[in-house]
Amino acid sequence: MSGIIAIGVVAVGARLLWSRKTSSSSKVTVHAFENELGVQPLVGFWDPAGFTPHGDSRGCFRRRFCRLRCLERGFTSAAMVGDGDAQSSASVGLAARILIRKGAAHGPTAGSAPGCVQGNIVILPQQYADDFKRYCDLNPQPCPLLAMSAPGDPSLPSLGVDIDIRTDVPKYRVFRDGIMDTEVENITDLWRQDLVTFVLGCSFSFEQALMQSNVGLRYVENHRNVPMYVTNCETKPSGLFSGKMVVSMRDLRMDQGEVKKAVEITSRFPRVHGSPVHIGDASSLGIADLEAPNFGDAPKMAEESDRVPVFWACGVTPQVAIENAKVPFVITHSPGHMLITDLDNSDMQTSPLDLTGSAPGAHGVVPMDPSAQQGIMNVLLDGDIRGMRALVEKGHVPNTCCGDAADLILSRSSGICLIVTGFYIQAAESPETDGPPGAVALGRALGRLGFTPVYVTDRFSHDVVAACAGTEARVIVFPVTSPELSREFAQGLLDGLKPSLLIAIERAGRGADGQYRNMKGVNFSDYNAQIDELFELAHGEIPSIGIADGGNEIGCGDLTASGAIPGADPENLKSPPCVTRTTQLVVAGASNWGGFGIAAALAMRSGCRDLLVSTADGWELVQKAVDAGAVDGILHTPGLASVDGRGEDANSSCLERLHDLVDRYLTSLSCKGAVAAAA
């Protein structure tokens, strides 16, 4: 016999895969098919003789479902589909879809079809498809696109065998002119040849990993639908599509480390919403009452008061955008009732992210003489108005700081580099133009060296950072929450992503009193996530670089402790000093320029000229920041493309001079090499 011998314990009368939910209570709807012994789901696995390879109970269950599918289709031999892992890996998802298609399964799919990726769906006319795809690209955290069909094609071969989107979702919603018209369990009669299907990632895909790590999900345990809420966070619009982001919520226990563990695990699932967007106080998201969700079931948190609400971006977000767009005809899933695919949840997870890449020191390193380093600092400090030049001239910051930062980067194993940026200007109600352009310019250089740049900011600067970074980049939202929860989030992120390097560029750091203040001493802590917890927790373990232009930014802690800020230049060093330290500090007349300076030093040290962003591309990053709502940190003029009072000429001049330094330096090395070879 070619099958695997194992014993499954069957629970007579157990519910099929999930129960049909009624308005009054949950109950089991019994059908003839599910009442048959051998067809009911297994509730246990026992193989004392070791017949199943490696004790693979999950593989046994999958193969069993595959055989049931064969029997349901009239096959008499399971050998017709084979016993190999490749053939059986899709069987759980296929079996679940067959049950849905037969009308035997109707309810929310959370906890169903273990191991299978589930997806939110949006089906709309072809004429709106391009705008909706762009909407997904612009909002990858709530709308992570997994697949898109051809017009009129109900199949989705990239997601699974035999998928028919017309019949394979437990419950659909039909919208007409933006209004939800009805809910149905089959859309075959509504199907048209101009309809395009979009499948978006779903947080159910990371829930299996959470539960395997003993993170309790009460709504799954209690057979309820996950609660979902419309927030006050705007998504980025595309064509007719716009609206508030929807979040799903799981209440977790702090005392058992569930919050930190949830951040750690979900940070590895960027294709299915990734890490949480908020932890704690729901009112900051505009949620007035957690017990009154817009979708799903009330969490009943009062039953256990020691729990903390944790919020993830949710794939129901497009339904809000559809209501606003008032498209004549759209079909979606009913919230919580997903498409079950044949993909494995592990396919959605990045590697354990202990990314080592090349060995330390494996990056090519070209000698860099002091005159080249001094040349970079002369460019970066040109026009300094905040005392940075005094810090360098008096020896508090070495004039080799850019080269030292480049050496630190080149000494690291290629892996994830967390780049922190974004500074909110409370008076202008917008983030500033300094920081994100330099962060992305440096991130591109790191990417060419084999690192994976991941940008970290808060909700107030997210749109600007994302606009500069582009739709292919990953941008993590660090929640604005309490110190305790901020530390939990930071530790979870470090444990989950295992970065090899941290960089902060123009990011406010806390003062000695634990508050965040701008250049004028105004406390804007309510608009600034405590991202410096990443650097505090990583201190001594993960190398870090801070880039600053005033003294209140992450990285200035050593200068604050020594009294160099404000002692080196009391007339100009007036920023409330930051106490957060980094391994290496780089100062400049503008923090963007500090990012450019490190990229220039990397170009000199590696011999790769293209590590430094071009003059045109550098200014384009500033324009993108402005288009996304950023303002000059000094002038506060909406729509004006400038950085700390400096327009295009000054910013372009900085890059032109750095390019000239890099070209002359690398050319001189080539000439010296040629002379040495001739000799």
Residue with the two structure tokens 């499948």 = 199
Calculate mean pLDDT across residues 655-668.
Answer: 94
pLDDT band at 106 (very low <50, low <70, confident <90, very high): confident
Q: Say yes or no to pLDDT of 622 above 80.
A: yes
Per-residue confidence (pLDDT) for residue 363, from 0 to 100: 54
624-628 long-range contacts, CB within 8 A, separation 24+:
624/437, 624/467, 624/468, 625/431, 625/433, 625/436, 625/437, 625/464, 625/467, 625/468, 626/433, 627/467, 628/463, 628/464, 628/466, 628/467, 628/468
pLDDT band at 577 (very low <50, low <70, confident <90, very high): very high
270-303 pLDDT tens trace = 989 999 999 999 999 999 999 999 999 999 887 6
CA-nearest of 139, 129, 250 to 197 is 129
Residue with the two structure tokens 């569930």 = 258
Distances (CA, A) of 105 to 12, 15, 109, 205: 18, 10, 9, 19
Q: What is the largest CA-CA distance in the chain?
A: 92
Calculate mean pLDDT across residues 467-491.
Answer: 96
CA-nearest of 312, 311, 289, 313 to 301 is 289
Instruction: Check if the beta carbon of residue 617 is closer than 8 Å to that of residue 624.
Output: no
64-92 pLDDT tens trace = 544 444 444 332 333 233 333 333 435 78
> Interior CA angle at 189 toward 187 and 193, to 5°?
90
Q: Say yes or no to pLDDT of 161 above 70.
A: yes
Q: Say yes or no to pLDDT of 619 above 60.
A: yes
Instruction: Check if the beta carbon of residue 459 is closer than 8 Å to that of residue 247.
Output: no
Residue type, 558: D
Residue with the two structure tokens 């019949």 = 167
pLDDT band at 364 (very low <50, low <70, confident <90, very high): low
> Which of 31-45, 67-81, 186-200, 274-288 has the weakest average pLDDT?
67-81
Q: Say yes or no to pLDDT of 41 above 70.
A: no
Q: Say yes or no to pLDDT of 362 above 60.
A: no
Is it true that domain 116-348 has CATH number 3.40.50.1370? no
Q: Between the ranges 15-19, 341-345, 368-372, where is the mean pLDDT highest? A: 341-345
ω into 318 cis (within 30 of 0) = no
Per-residue confidence (pLDDT) for residue 53, from 0 to 100: 45
* % of residues, the chain, pLDDT over 70: 83
Q: Say yes or no to pLDDT of 34 above 90.
A: no
Calculate mean pLDDT across residues 485-491.
Answer: 97
Instruction: Check if the beta carbon of residue 123 is closer than 8 Å to that of residue 332.
Output: yes
pLDDT band at 36 (very low <50, low <70, confident <90, very high): very low
* % of residues, the chain, pLDDT over 90: 67
Domain boundaries, the chain: 7-89, 116-348, 370-674
Per-residue confidence (pLDDT) for residue 303, from 0 to 100: 66
Rounded CA-CA distance 160/119 in Å is 12
Q: Say yes or no to pLDDT of 589 above 90.
A: yes
> Which of 28-37, 85-94, 222-231, 358-367 has the weakest average pLDDT?
28-37
Per-residue confidence (pLDDT) for residue 60, from 0 to 100: 54
Instruction: Check if the beta carbon of residue 95 is closer than 8 Å to that of residue 69.
Output: yes
Q: How many CA atoms lie within 13 A of 47 on its CB side?
A: 17
Q: Say yes or no to pLDDT of 111 above 50.
A: yes
More confident: 203 or 505: 505
Q: What is the b/e burial string over 410-443, where b = at least 16 CB atoms within 10 angstroms of the residue's CB?
A: bebbbbbbbbbbbbbbeebebbbbbbbbbbbbbb
What mean pLDDT is reported for the chain? 85
Rounded CA-CA distance 466/459 in Å is 11
Rounded CA-CA distance 452/500 in Å is 10
> Which of 69-73, 485-489, 547-551 has the weakest average pLDDT?
69-73
> Which of 212-226, 325-339, 499-513 has the weakest average pLDDT?
212-226
Residues 6+ apart with CB under 8 A from 360: 411, 412, 413
Which residues does residue 501 pair with via DSSP β-bridges, in sequence order?
A: 417
Per-residue confidence (pLDDT) for residue 678, from 0 to 100: 46
3-state helix, strand, coil in the chain (%, to 5): 35, 20, 45
Per-residue confidence (pLDDT) for residue 673, from 0 to 100: 56
pLDDT band at 672 (very low <50, low <70, confident <90, very high): low
DSSP string, 152-200: T----TTT-TT--TTTSSS-EEEEETTEEEEEES--GGG--TTEEEEEE
Per-residue confidence (pLDDT) for residue 352, from 0 to 100: 46
- Architecture label for domain 370-674: Alpha-Beta Complex (3.90)
Per-residue confidence (pLDDT) for residue 540, from 0 to 100: 86
